[in-house]
Chains A and B, each alone.
Chain A
């Protein structure tokens, strides 16, 4: 039995299969509409994350399966002090697969060790959020047609951003990737990340101004610059606009550059950009459902072949 704890759990070859399946689901939704009939997904969310939970539930419902679960710890047995190990053993009796979100790092791995059903890490504190990373990869592959030969700009909070670190770890497995890290001095990419890139011989540059490099990018990954990361309000106000993507900055970019964002956005992308064909962050949310559909089927052992047999 397989679980998903980190985006690196799958080889790049296995990921290709997963992405192919997700794309097939996108093209032929009806073929997969009943593939999980009679199966149940448990969403065990020890902290609220409505977007992620709904994405998992939509994925299972699209496959004809059913969902059950809890959406924060206070409404669950965890509030009574039940351990993750005990909870998953009980959940294993109720459902066929589990998506777990937990504020403590490594909790889904503890669950996987005790579980008799596949466990998907739906985010464990600041540690991993593999379905977000797989969503990003699927979006890039689907809309660019490749995961290699890309110049990728990552913009905003690069210091604390789990999402961007995880995406970088996933992307360095592909050929000819170049990174541009666009951030204020205060939120620069940590040295352990740049050291890792140097060791692997992967090209990167650190840039302060988005305007200075946007024309060279195939992909711009925007992240939120959060108020609580700054010592004073002045710096925050100054920098949040500095990293605001608007029509003017976008006019310098290539015609086929993609703009991604893990959402929710606050003010780092102006709404005037939303109608630009290069803005794909809402399609990214849609790919998030397809990748979770493909993942649920793969982990349940209900993949391609059987999908084909059904139609």
Chain B
């Protein structure tokens, strides 16, 4: 495998669906962080044919795992300290997400009310359905 430098403290996000790493990079707002980020695309995987990996060198409290859980809760989150994996976090679907996605329903109050947060609520955990808190419109595409 391609060799990317080891990180001392941070995260390795593994088993990202191939091709989706850049989108996650943006949703986690890693572009706004002043830290080392490595994105590996199309790595070979035993579990999935191809996968993406993101390595982030940062304080372990800096990542919003709710957003990650919302985007794809099958991603493996490895927490790294002193160059070693100290924890594998299980992601779950957050009950509510705020200002991650916008409601696209033009008839929704979020389209005109200023300063209103866009909130989506998990209404069906089995089918992984999120709905706008205000108009109940289904979120069609997670990311």
Contact = CB atoms under 8 A, between A and B. Distances in A.
Contact of A84 (B111, B113, B132, B133): B113
A125 B107 contact: yes
Most buried by B among A85, A105, A107: A105
B134 interface: yes
Given A83-B114, A110-B113, A110-B116, A105 B133 contact: no
Interface in B62-120: 105, 107-116
B105 A85 contact: no
A109 interface: yes
Nearest to B112: A104
B135 A83 contact: no
B109 A102 contact: yes
Interface string A125-147: 11100000000000000000000
Contacts, number: 49
Nearest to B110: A106
A124 B112 CA distance: 14
B105 A105 contact: yes
Tell me what chain B mostly uses at the interface: helix, strand, loop, or mixed: loop
Contacts of B134: 105-107, 109-110
Interface residues of B, number: 17
Contacts of B132: 106
A99 to B, nearest CB: 17
Given A103-B107, A105-B109, A106-B108, A127 B135 contact: yes
B136 interface: yes
A259 B137 CA distance: 32
B76 to A, nearest CB: 33
Contacts of B109: 84, 102, 104-107, 109-110, 124
7 contacts: A83-B113, A104-B107, A105-B135, A106-B109, A106-B110, A125-B107, A126-B107
Given A85-B115, A104-B107, A105-B105, 9 more contacts: A83-B113, A105-B134, A105-B135, A106-B110, A106-B132, A106-B134, A106-B135, A127-B107, A127-B136
A104 B114 CA distance: 13
Contacts of B116: 85, 110
B115 A104 contact: no
A102 B105 CA distance: 15
Contacts of A124: 109
Contacts of B133: 106, 109
A124 B105 CA distance: 13
Contacts of A106: 108-110, 132-136
B28 to A, nearest CB: 28
Contacts of B136: 105-106, 127
Contacts of B111: 104
Contacts of A83: 113-115
B107 A85 contact: no
Q: Please name the 5 residue pairs, one residue from A and one from B, whose CB atoms are nearest each other, closest first.
A: A106-B134, A105-B135, A104-B109, A106-B109, A107-B109
A109 B112 CA distance: 14
Contact of A105 (B107, B114, B115): B107
A77 to B, nearest CB: 14
A85 B108 contact: no
A85 to B, nearest CB: 7
Contacts of B114: 83
B113 A85 contact: yes
A105 B108 contact: yes
A37 B7 CA distance: 71
